[in-house]
Amino acid sequence: MNKRPPIQGIGPLIAGLAMLGSMVWLETAPAKAQEQVLWPEQVLTALLNHVSGERAYEDTATLASLSRYPISRGFHRAATIVAERARQAGLKNVKILAFPAERPSWDVLSAELWLVEPVRRKLADTDEIAVSLAMFSHNAEVTAEIVDVGEGISDADYEGKDVKGKIVLASGPPAAVQQQAILARGARGIISSFSNQFFGITPPPDAVSWSRLSPAHLTDESAGFAFMISPRAGQELRRLLRQEGRLVARAHVEVEIHTPGQLEMVVGEIPGAEVDDQDIVFTAHLDHQKPGANDNASGSAVLLEIARTLNELMARGVLSPPRRTMRFWWVTEIQGTYQYFFHHPEDAKRILVNINIDQAGGNRHGRNDFVAILQPPWMGTFVDDIIVHLGRWAMAHLAEVYHAPSPRFVAPLGTRRPFHIRFWPYAELTDHLVFETAGIDIPSISLAVASLEFIHTSEDSIEHIDPTQLKRSAFLGAACGWLLANVRPSDVPRWLAVIRQGSQERIGRAESRALALLAMSDEHTIHQNFRQAYYVVEHAYERESRVLASVARFHEPADQDETRALLAYESKFAWNLFAQQEASVRLLRENYEALCRQLGIEPQPLQPSAEERRLSQRIPRRTISLGPNFREWMSFTSPQLGPRLSQLVKSLIDGRRDLAEIHRAVSALGHRMSLSAVEQFVEQLVAKGWVEIESR
């Protein structure tokens, strides 16, 4: 190949460091994965000795005893308890914030379902199992015949069946059954044996799943009700219906619906002593149906335990007050967190990192793997390397597989299992996605010890919670929070050592993927696969340049000497990354040429097309600001691209990437999209007034 495009990936970082001049990076042997270099040993020891899984367990039990539906009086009761315990834990400026909600509040007062003919039998009672009534059900006093409609979600399920004025027995999602049975055919209500599944994991057959009717009909009294029963109870009821031929049920539902509704969140903080615009924010969603012990009474309790532990250690003089403010938010999941930023957009600029904890107690009767969700592909940031570094160290030193765990890493009343943490690629699962939304742009460490067979069911109870996993969750969260709150520019060399290891692993995976693309080519695909492989490598290095650049967030204007030293040290890594990218591209090109010779075809120069050159002159920049109108921007989707690709393209618009670079990044991530599709979608955003396009 005679000519190739200029290397793009390192550009943003090189531009920022050009004034520092070219320096040489001296290679050193990579650190072993289990070596820990970021935390002072005495800090980790203090946290391990003081964080308590039992205290977190008690708080989890208290919260799990409450119904905490979002936008409800039940949530307010839970928020009041959390606020009081946050004050007791030593947090300052504790308050309950409220924002207007898009729907009324909804609370259950009482609900019972009885079989009354041919036998009398209780089928459901919210005093016994709170999730027995589907969310957004309406008041009812109904006695009616039961009609089995199978799944109840299609017209075929209702052929030859008269459901008007009756109660349908269905196994499909209640909101879909509501549309077919109640709204379209006049049924009075639903008995649902629907079972939630997460990642294909089926709950126990006796678990009653949480579900809901459509909130769009919350103010329509004719929209009916739905009672939830377990799959086993559903099978028994169907058997009885076949046996008897006719069943009659009586439903009593009493709910309160209030307008306007309010989204609430509890906030508190440990004030920072030195840096006032780089806050660390802990989050856990407080809302959920009762019991919701692991999801997410446990995460809410762990936030209290982190606050309690840090303040106790500071009071004893073991830890100094943090340099940066540490904020604690107990939120309504996702929607409440978005509302906070819509009403306080300026806060997005002063938050350095989010630490989110959603499911912290695991399952004491089963395997417990921790999960850390990594950053989205449009973000390049150091935070993944922090949790990977700490997680690997904990696996190697505190609770290694096939070894007895350290007594410091188990709770007295908890299990003694090994510690294992998995690092998941980005997935939109919990409040971390709010912080990582393009336009908010705050990196997040999101931790979980999931119990996927129980969550969103009656079985997500305190009996399954493991105090050891609560202790470990609190330790990981507190350690990450303390580190981020206290880092200073002089710590950057140690950080860069850790980032270097993560960078080499990520680049290695990208190079392996690129070389595999070439290796699987034939004479018909090799030229296109080479272009695709080049995009993969280019995007990997572009992202790593952003990871390096993100360390500059630790600059402190008050200490210019430390800041200059930080940038000078960092520049060595930047220039080394530049040279490494040159070598990676050369290796890729040499493999391509060798494979072409094997296939008996001529290599083709990798040159941009006329269309690529034209689009490389067009740089889109977001003009819409964070606020109430931002929701429309987030939800806007191109029918041609679909939701996932529409979000990805919007997220890659940062005022630096041109349209051709956005297309290459999308391609590097494994998506097929034409250059014209990228341009057309961005032009739609321009027409909405959300984006401007600048010409080079």
pLDDT at 414: 97
Is the domain defined by 105-258 classed in CATH 3.50.30.30? yes
For the record, the structure tokens of 662 come out as: 């956005």
- Looking at the chain, the domain(s) classified CATH 3.40.630.10 span 52-101+262-486
Q: In what order do the strands lie in the sheet with 167-170?
A: 121-125, 105-117, 248-258, 140-148, 167-170, 189-192, 225-228
pLDDT band of residue 286 (cuts 50, 70, 90) is very high
Q: Which of 21-25, 249-253, 450-454 has the lowest mean pLDDT?
A: 21-25
For residues 43 and 36, which has the higher predicted lDDT (pLDDT)? 43
| Separation between Cα atoms, residue 488 and residue 490, nearest integer Å | 5
- pLDDT (0 to 100) of residue 559: 62
Q: What is the pLDDT of residue 179?
A: 98
CB atoms within 10 A of CB 553: 13
pLDDT, tens digit (0-9, with 9 covering 90-100), for 463-521: 999 999 999 999 999 999 999 999 988 898 899 999 999 999 999 999 999 999 999 99
The pLDDT score that the predictor gives to residue 656 is 94
Cα distances (Å, whole numbers) of residue 606 to 531, 539, 543, 615: 7, 16, 22, 17
Q: So what's the pLDDT on residue 60?
A: 99
Q: Where exactly does CATH 3.50.30.30 map onto the chain?
A: 105-258
Q: What's phi and psi for 471, nearest 5 deg?
A: -60, -45
pLDDT of 19 > 60? The answer is no
User: Is the model's pLDDT at 128 over the cut of 50?
Assistant: yes
CATH 1.10.10 residue spans of the chain: 608-696
Evaluate if residue 13 carries a pLDDT over 80: no
Q: What pLDDT, on the 0 to 100 scale, is given for residue 35?
A: 79
pLDDT above 70: residue 5: no
Question: What are the structure tokens assigned to 408, written together?
Answer: 């410091």
Mean pLDDT of 63-85: 97
pLDDT of residue 556: 67
Q: Does 3.30.70.270 match the CATH number of domain 52-101+262-486?
A: no
CATH architecture assignment, domain 608-696: Orthogonal Bundle (1.10)
E runs forming strands in 13-133: 92-100, 105-117, 121-125
Q: Rounded to two decimals, what is the model's pTM?
A: 0.92
110 in Cβ contact with 255 (< 8 Å): no
What pLDDT band is residue 199 in, cutting at 50, 70 and 90? Answer: confident
- Residues of the chain with pLDDT > 70, as a percent, come to 93
- What is the per-residue pLDDT for 56? 99
